Amino acid sequence: MRPDSRSRLMGAAVLVLALAGCGRDEDKAGKARPPALVGAMAAANADFAPRLTALGTVTPLQSVAVRPRTDGQITAILFREGDNVRSGQQLFRLDDRAARAELAQARANVASAQASAVQARGDFTRAEQLVGKGFVSAAVLDQRRALAGSAEAAISGALAQVKSAETALDYLTIRAPVSGRTGEIGFRLGATVRSSDAVSLVTVNQLSPIQVRFLVPPEQIQHVRAAMAGPGLTVTALPQQGGGPPIATGRLAFLDNNVDPGNGSVTAKAEFVNVGDVLWPGAIVNVQLPLGASAPRIALPESAVQTGRDAPFVWAVGGDGKVVMRDVTVAGRADGRVFLASGVKPGETIVVDALSKLKPGDKVRTRAGAPRVASAAPAVAG
């Protein structure tokens, strides 16, 4: 091939490559991402009352598994399952025929001992009168004195036997140890029960007052202790699923003196009068404790606050339309809102939706997001 032909071919190839490069640059420029459209709102204050919210378990103040103190056959069941009973009320009777016979024998022994004592005291009195006249020796007098003392001691022993027999008979009548509601009966009429049985006769749960046990997280312990220094700390019990009216209102009755080393929490107990038995042992409820007076806080929708590696954050829109990641401190949450203690000022524009693909420095276009949070009605959160 001639030199001039090779030169023309090389020039054409260079031109093609140059045009191809220009096309790629134009494609990149044409594909540059436009500003994202996001929902945003102006940050505003709302009244916020701090509180602790936790899950609690309803537990009776007293729950007693009733067991017999002696062995025997059940001859009477004096209540129905689920009955409310009073402390001391009879629940079961065991066969008491042998115990009654033993009590009768013990009482007869007392009568016999008393008769013997009367005779012994009389003999001693007569011996005292005769010893001075020389008709009875001092040795006989001492003997009569000893017999009289022994007869008195026999009375005491017989009376003790009566007391023991009465106690044994009383054990055969099984009474409610506390006032409350009975559960399922463990044995039926005619069954023989023993004090060593693993199954109880019945369990009695005290329902009024009743308590709710819950855990105070580490960050709230000092707040709860400070609130306890004032008047009685009110505790509200609400349905576990939320959305319903309060179940009952009580007071904080106990804060443990020991921190759980596993999670740093402290056990607390609230006590409720439980009118109408609205709180039931074993039920799970939400408990709320007010921990201070209301104060204005920035309120944002839950969707606006993201979970970061080190702290929660929001996307704030600057005057140039670019977003910046802003760490925030959460004071509490309630009714789908997050209340911030720091990180955002009133009037700042905060992204509230379409946040998933944002990066620091991205330009955005904003549209109205969640409605502006009104500050007229106080909110409470924990």
- In the chain, the domains with their CATH numbers are 36-49+294-381 (2.40.420.20), 53-61+205-290 (2.40.30.170), 65-95+172-200 (2.40.50.100), 97-169 (1.10.287)
Instruction: Give the residue-averaged pLDDT of 282-299.
Output: 92
What would the pLDDT profile of 138-158 be if each residue is shown by its tens digit? 888 788 889 888 889 999 999
At CA 103, angle to CA 97 and CA 108, rounded to 5? 130
321: left (phi over 0), alpha (psi -120 to 50) or beta: left
User: Half-sphere exposure (CA, 13 Å, Cβ side) for 261?
Assistant: 0
- Looking at residue 144, its pLDDT comes to 85
For 109-112, the CB contacts below 8 A with 24+ separation are 109/158, 109/161, 109/162, 110/155, 110/158, 110/159, 110/161, 110/162, 112/158
- Looking at residue 320, its pLDDT comes to 92
Measured from the Cβ of residue 188, the count of other Cβ atoms closer than 10 Å reads: 8
- Looking at residue 180, its pLDDT comes to 96
pLDDT at 251 > cutoff 50: yes
Instruction: Give the residue-averaged pLDDT of 238-260.
Output: 91
- Looking at residue 30, its pLDDT comes to 42
- Looking at residue 369, its pLDDT comes to 63
Task: Tell me the pLDDT of the chain averaged across its residues.
Answer: 87
- Looking at residue 104, its pLDDT comes to 97
- Looking at residue 169, its pLDDT comes to 97
At CA 377, angle to CA 376 and CA 379, rounded to 5? 130
- Paired residues of 84 in beta bridges: 181
- Looking at residue 109, its pLDDT comes to 94
What would the pLDDT profile of 168-217 be if each residue is shown by its tens digit? 999 999 999 999 999 999 999 999 999 999 999 999 999 999 999 999 99
- Looking at residue 4, its pLDDT comes to 52
- Whose CA is closest to 302, among 323, 329, 331, 333? 333
In the chain, the amino acid numbered 196 is: S
What would the pLDDT profile of 27-84 be if each residue is shown by its tens digit? 444 455 688 899 999 999 999 988 888 999 999 999 999 999 999 999 999 999 999 9
- Looking at residue 357, its pLDDT comes to 81
